[in-house]
Amino acid sequence: MLWGVVGNLQDPKATKVRQVCLAVLGAGRTAMLFHSSPEHQRALGTRETQIQEISACISTCLEHLGQTPERVGLAQSLIEPRQRWARDACERAGMIFVGELAYMRKPIPSSGPATKPEPDWPEGITVRPVRSLERDASQSDRELLIEILEQSYIDTLDCPELCGMRSMEDVVDSHMATGVFNPAHWLLILRDGRPAGCCLLSHCPANHSVELVYLGIASNARGMGLGRRVLDYGISRLQGLDAREITCAVDTRNTPAIAVYESLGFQRFDSRIGYVAPIPLR
């Protein structure tokens, strides 16, 4: 899963590896791409030459991934905002810009999140944990979660370019693979029995953290303040976990979501530029 530019035009027999692109396969038929950098590599030629070669590595990687669509449905790359050359390389390779992601976090007190009673939800609103996401389970909520996700994507401000690029089954599998999936920490929101939103929190023991995998409200329940209330309630249910902070990533264009996170004490600490390519390539 590593592609590279080897040799050069001046010396066809040269065997030195000049630039590379690595694809790391993940859950939900995804692949994260990592590539080399032209910084501090003047011996390999001009910056423009190196960007062209990095782009060629990415293009070849995507081409080969496209030959195995059963393994990969979406390739993605996360770039530091200052790395304009990386954006150029991804765009030349045909990857699609999907927004700037702000990484935010909120510390968890050493005593753990404060226990809170279940809120007095607005009339018609029900919030409950996922029962199971196994496809064949008798009380599986997988289809309900998929419908909730689809409804929350309508007019979304969070990386709208991603909508429709991969199957909802892949989306669910990818979400479940983040940290340790515990259905008790995945909350479903219903309004009059119909899908209205979800708040998905997963424990990441290796990082001593909890990740907000996804928070989405369907159009039939927006404007009720549910995002903030459900997230606050979900955080209060994280008793007994070895976690020092809660993290999330949000599209910087999604100002309503950022306002919700900030109101709960989240602060921005990093950012990345997102590029993706559907596999097979369109």
**For residue 116, is pLDDT > 90?**
no
Would you state the pLDDT for residue 209?
96
* pLDDT the model gives residue 46: 85
Joined together, the tokens standing for residue 188 give 């479903």
For the cut 60, the answer to whether the pLDDT of residue 282 exceeds it is no
Model confidence at 111, pLDDT cuts 50, 70, 90, reads confident
| % of the chain with per-residue pLDDT over 70 | 96
The pLDDT of residue 110: 81
pLDDT at position 247 is 98
Residue at token pair 């304009």: 84
- How does pLDDT run across 199-239, given as a tens digit for each residue? 999 999 999 999 999 999 999 999 999 999 999 999 999 98
What pLDDT shows up at residue 11?
Answer: 67
pLDDT of residue 113: 83
Q: Is the pLDDT of residue 41 over 70?
A: no
Say how far apart CA 17 and CA 29 lie, in whole Å.
29
Mean pLDDT, the chain, rounded, equals: 92
User: 242: exposed, middle or buried (C-beta count within 10 Å: 0-12, 13-18, 19+)?
Assistant: exposed
Q: pLDDT band for position 10 (50/70/90)?
A: low
pTM of this prediction? Answer: 0.91
Across the range 73-99, mean pLDDT stands at 96
Residue 58: name the closest of 29, 87, 16, 100 by CA.
Answer: 87
pLDDT score at 276: 97
140-153 pLDDT tens trace? 999 999 999 999 99
Flag whether pLDDT at 39 surpasses 70: yes
R_g of the chain, CA atoms, integer Å: 21
Say if strands 17-26 and 209-217 run parallel, antiparallel, or are unpaired.
unpaired
Residues 174, 241 contacting (CB under 8 angstroms): no
- Indicate the pLDDT class of residue 12, thresholds 50, 70 and 90: low
The answer to whether 217 and 197 have CB atoms below 8 angstroms apart is yes
**Contact between residue 218 and residue 197 where contact means Cβ atoms under 8 Å apart:** yes
Residues 157-207: pLDDT tens digits?
Answer: 999 999 999 999 999 999 999 999 999 999 999 999 999 999 999 999 999
pLDDT at 130: 96
